[in-house]
């Protein structure tokens, strides 16, 4: 670890907070239905959408109607994206002449982009046409992120309203999130990326002559536009298989810092917007501080593990001072590779600028544990906020039990219905991840896809299901996922991680919205100070360590001590 490395990390995180606070005010106004500085331009466009879709923006929905609208929209999105992929060979904007995507891969990819996961069991440059990339994948990058933001604010309204039968209008929230938040930011981001060297063209590919005289085909396409929403929407799916390690997606140190900033800024801004929406900025600040502590702890561990180098190489005389550079880009170095890894898995982005499979065991443990926690520090666009609020409800419930008081959060009593819904959502992750991982290590069809045996092989499988279930999408690259078994099971894990989690969350939103809002009493547990932050961190680590410790002990922890003993798997 070096001073320069920590200076780069501090610069990015400071820029994130500096931008997130004013952006939070804007997001709160947008999702509150208020006028913004973009309203003169975008409000007429918004009204046209409502007119042609038959949406009455003044008519709100109860939690069940809101959830049904979200599910219906998601089904329609799945059908459209699946159809585009299957018919790709017969559609325009296919300069490379790619054929249709196989059915199991099309299913996996459609679910992946629908759920904001962007898990990719294919190489984008050799599988997807420009039409599939733009009309299929990029469009869903916008819509899946907007859906997450909409659902987060449905839960926020549950806390901010009193005795209300409604939690908002899904179609309005979806439209405003896309039109006012994601689209303007993505246009600016794409222009900045183009200025930094990211290509944006409809050309299919060019042929180059290498220094040895050989011919090489270099893929091109509309990369900057996809890269912008890939990071801002915490999507993560890259134009290239190498993702943000590829020089066309992420050409230099400045583009690297910009992309890390982009994948963190909206999640943190959404948390601050929550504080503004409930009329107590301290509430959002407390959650943001908790998220920040978890994020920085992950960065520290990853940077320490990668900066120390590989002990197996050190033992044979290799200089460890550059750190563990296997799987990393020299133009980024260890520090921002560790920051990118912690940030992309602390959010639900899943983009990578280095190969997590090449990290040291404790370095790889950071992204894995981030995802086993549900990628909530600071989480995906919208998804991080509602995931963290579920844990806040659990923490307040635990605090109430300890002091013998009825637990309250933001003036709303937490009763049996709310805590049951919270635990139903929380338990989806371990059931899915551990269940599918166990099945995969017991079946030959699951083991056949491994590149490594032993503890690292277990880590590859566990990482894959953790990544897909919490809608992250990054991978330990040693697992070959493009098989019928993994295309199907990983697709199911994505569906459960998104919808089996969020439907109980929306039910919680409806339950809280219908409750009376009590004035804070003298004995109420304060949820904006350091005591609450400490309790929340304790609940997070105890809850998830208890769920996953046996699997982690058999995977990356065993691998760490084995490497110290001079063994490799």
Indicate if the alpha-carbon torsion angle 456, 457, 462, 468 is positive or negative.
Answer: positive
Confidence of residue 491 (pLDDT cuts 50, 70, 90): very high
For residue 469, give the nearest of 505, 496, 431, 501 by alpha carbon: 496
3-class secondary structure, 216? strand
How large is the average pLDDT for residues 276-302?
93
How large is the average pLDDT for residues 388-392?
92
Q: Which of 242-246, 339-343, 556-560 is least confident?
A: 556-560
Beta-bridge partner residues of 328 = 354
For residue 468, give the nearest of 442, 436, 423 by alpha carbon: 436
User: How many residues make up the chain in this entry?
Assistant: 569
Q: Which long-range contacts (CB under 8 A, 24 or more apart) does 279-283 make?
A: 279/160, 280/410, 280/528, 282/528, 283/410, 283/527, 283/528
Cβ-in-10-Å burial (0-12, 13-18, 19+) of 189 comes to buried
Q: Which of 19-28, 270-279, 400-409, 535-544 is least confident?
A: 400-409
How large is the average pLDDT for residues 363-383?
86
List Cβ neighbours of 412 (8 Å cut-off, separation of 6 or more): 158, 159, 512, 515, 517, 518
3-class secondary structure, 357? helix
Confidence of residue 526 (pLDDT cuts 50, 70, 90): confident
For residue 123, give the nearest of 442, 368, 481 by alpha carbon: 481
Regarding predicted confidence, which is higher, 393 or 312? 393
Q: How far apart are CA 502 and CA 428, in angstroms?
A: 10
Cβ-in-10-Å burial (0-12, 13-18, 19+) of 241 comes to middle
Q: How far apart are CA 141 and CA 148, in angstroms?
A: 11
- The rounded radius of gyration (Å) of the Cα atoms in the chain is 23
Could you give phi then psi for residue 207, rounded to 5 degrees?
-110, 130
Question: H helices within 443-500, ranges in order?
Answer: 444-447, 454-469, 484-495
List Cβ neighbours of 550 (8 Å cut-off, separation of 6 or more): none
How large is the average pLDDT for residues 528-551?
86
Neighbours of 401 (CB within 10 A): 10
| SS3 sequence of 452-463 | CCHHHHHHHHHH
Tokens of 274: 């929550």
Q: How far apart are CA 274 and CA 222, in angstroms?
A: 34
What pLDDT is attached to residue 121?
86
What pLDDT is attached to residue 157?
94
What pLDDT is attached to residue 380?
87
Confidence of residue 559 (pLDDT cuts 50, 70, 90): low
Q: Which residue has the tokens 């609450």?
A: 532
Q: How far apart are CA 341 and CA 364, in angstroms?
A: 9
Tokens of 368: 């894995």
What pLDDT is attached to residue 555?
60
Q: How far apart are CA 407 and CA 394, in angstroms?
A: 10
Beta-bridge partner residues of 216 = 208
Q: How far apart are CA 128 and CA 133, in angstroms?
A: 6
Beta-bridge partner residues of 200 = 222
Q: Which residue has the tokens 């904006």?
A: 528
Kindly tell me if the per-residue pLDDT of 564 is higher than 70: no
Q: How far apart are CA 45 and CA 51, in angstroms?
A: 10
Regarding predicted confidence, which is higher, 120 or 496? 496
Across the chain, mean pLDDT equals: 89
List Cβ neighbours of 271 (8 Å cut-off, separation of 6 or more): 24, 284, 287, 288, 291, 378, 384, 385, 388
For residue 279, give the nearest of 530, 528, 37 by alpha carbon: 528
Q: Which residue has the tokens 């922890």?
A: 557
Tokens of 486: 């993994």
Kindly tell me if the per-residue pLDDT of 565 is higher than 50: no
Q: How far apart are CA 171 and CA 76, in angstroms?
A: 14
Kindly tell me if the per-residue pLDDT of 164 is higher than 60: yes
Q: How far apart are CA 150 and CA 175, in angstroms?
A: 9
List Cβ neighbours of 262 (8 Å cut-off, separation of 6 or more): 189, 228, 231, 232
497-518 tens-digit pLDDT? 999 999 999 999 999 999 998 8
CA angle at 453 for the pair 452 and 456, rounded to the nearest 5°: 70
Q: How far apart are CA 334 and CA 363, in angstroms?
A: 11
410-459 tens-digit pLDDT? 888 898 999 999 999 989 989 999 999 999 989 999 998 888 777 778 88
CB 527 within 8 A of CB 282: no
CA angle at 58 for the pair 57 and 59, rounded to the nearest 5°: 95
Kindly tell me if the per-residue pLDDT of 372 is higher than 60: yes
Kindly tell me if the per-residue pLDDT of 494 is higher than 90: yes
Q: Which of 46-60, 79-93, 411-425, 465-479 is least confident?
A: 465-479
Tokens of 110: 């459609």
137-158 tens-digit pLDDT? 989 999 999 999 999 999 999 9
Q: Which residue has the tokens 């790709």?
A: 88
Tokens of 477: 């690259």
What pLDDT is attached to residue 558?
56
């Amino acid at each position: 670890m070096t001073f320069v490395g920590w200076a780069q990390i501090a610069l990015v995180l400071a820029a994130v907070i500096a931008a997130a606070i004013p952006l939070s005010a804007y997001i709160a106004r947008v999702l509150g239905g208020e006028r913004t500085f973009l309203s003169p331009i975008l409000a007429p466009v918004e009204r046209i959408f409502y007119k042609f879709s038959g949406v009455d923006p003044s008519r709100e929905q109860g939690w069940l109607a809101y959830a049904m609208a979200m599910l219906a929209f998601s089904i329609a999105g799945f059908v459209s994206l699946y159809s585009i992929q299957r018919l790709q060979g017969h559609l325009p904007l296919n300069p490379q002449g790619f054929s249709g995507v196989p059915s199991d891969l099309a299913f996996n990819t459609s679910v992946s982009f629908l759920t904001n996961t962007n898990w990719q069991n294919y190489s984008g440059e050799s599988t997807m046409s420009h039409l599939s990339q733009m009309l299929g994948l990029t469009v869903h990058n916008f819509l899946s992120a907007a859906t997450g933001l909409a659902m987060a604010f449905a839960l926020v309204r549950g806390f901010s309203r009193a005795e209300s039968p409604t939690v908002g209008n899904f179609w309005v929230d979806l439209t405003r999130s896309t039109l006012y938040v994601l689209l303007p930011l993505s246009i600016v981001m794409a222009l900045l990326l183009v200025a930094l060297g990211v290509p944006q063209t409809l050309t299919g590919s060019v042929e180059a002559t290498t220094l040895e005289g050989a011919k090489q085909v270099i893929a091109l396409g509309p990369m900057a536009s996809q890269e912008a929403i890939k990071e801002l929407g915490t999507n993560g799916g890259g134009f290239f298989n190498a993702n943000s390690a590829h020089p066309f997606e992420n050409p230099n140190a400045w583009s690297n810092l910009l992309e890390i900033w982009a994948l963190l800024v909206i999640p943190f801004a959404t948390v601050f917007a929550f504080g503004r929406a409930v009329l107590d900025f301290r509430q959002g600040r407390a959650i943001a501080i908790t998220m920040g502590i978890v994020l920085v702890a992950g960065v520290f561990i990853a940077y320490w593990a990668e900066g120390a180098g590989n002990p197996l190489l050190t033992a044979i005389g290799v200089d460890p001072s550059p750190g563990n550079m296997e799987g990393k880009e020299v133009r980024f170095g260890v520090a921002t590779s560790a920051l990118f890894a912690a940030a992309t898995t602390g959010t639900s982005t899943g983009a990578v600028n280095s190969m997590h499979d090449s990290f040291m065991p404790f370095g790889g443990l950071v992204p894995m544990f981030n995802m086993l926690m549900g990628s909530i520090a600071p989480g995906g666009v919208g998804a991080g906020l509602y995931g963290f609020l579920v844990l806040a409800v659990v923490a307040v419930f635990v605090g109430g039990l300890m002091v013998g008081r009825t637990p309250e959060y933001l003036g709303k009593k937490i009763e049996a219905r709310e805590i049951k819904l919270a635990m139903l959502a929380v338990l989806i992750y371990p059931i899915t991840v551990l269940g599918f991982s166990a099945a995969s290590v017991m079946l030959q069809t699951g083991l056949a896809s491994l590149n490594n045996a032993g503890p690292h092989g277990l880590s590859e499988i566990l990482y894959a299901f953790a990544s897909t279930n919490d809608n992250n999408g990054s991978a330990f690259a040693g697992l070959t996922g493009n098989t019928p078994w993994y295309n199907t099971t990983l697709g199911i894990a994505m569906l459960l991680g998104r919808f089996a989690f969020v439907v109980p969350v929306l039910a919680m939103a409806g339950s809280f919205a219908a409750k009376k809002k009590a004035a804070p009493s003298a004995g109420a547990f304060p949820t904006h100070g350091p005591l609450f932050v400490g309790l929340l961190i304790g609940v997070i680590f105890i809850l998830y360590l208890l769920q996953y410790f046996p699997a982690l002990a058999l995977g990356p922890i065993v691998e760490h001590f084995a490497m110290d003993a001079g063994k490799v798997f």
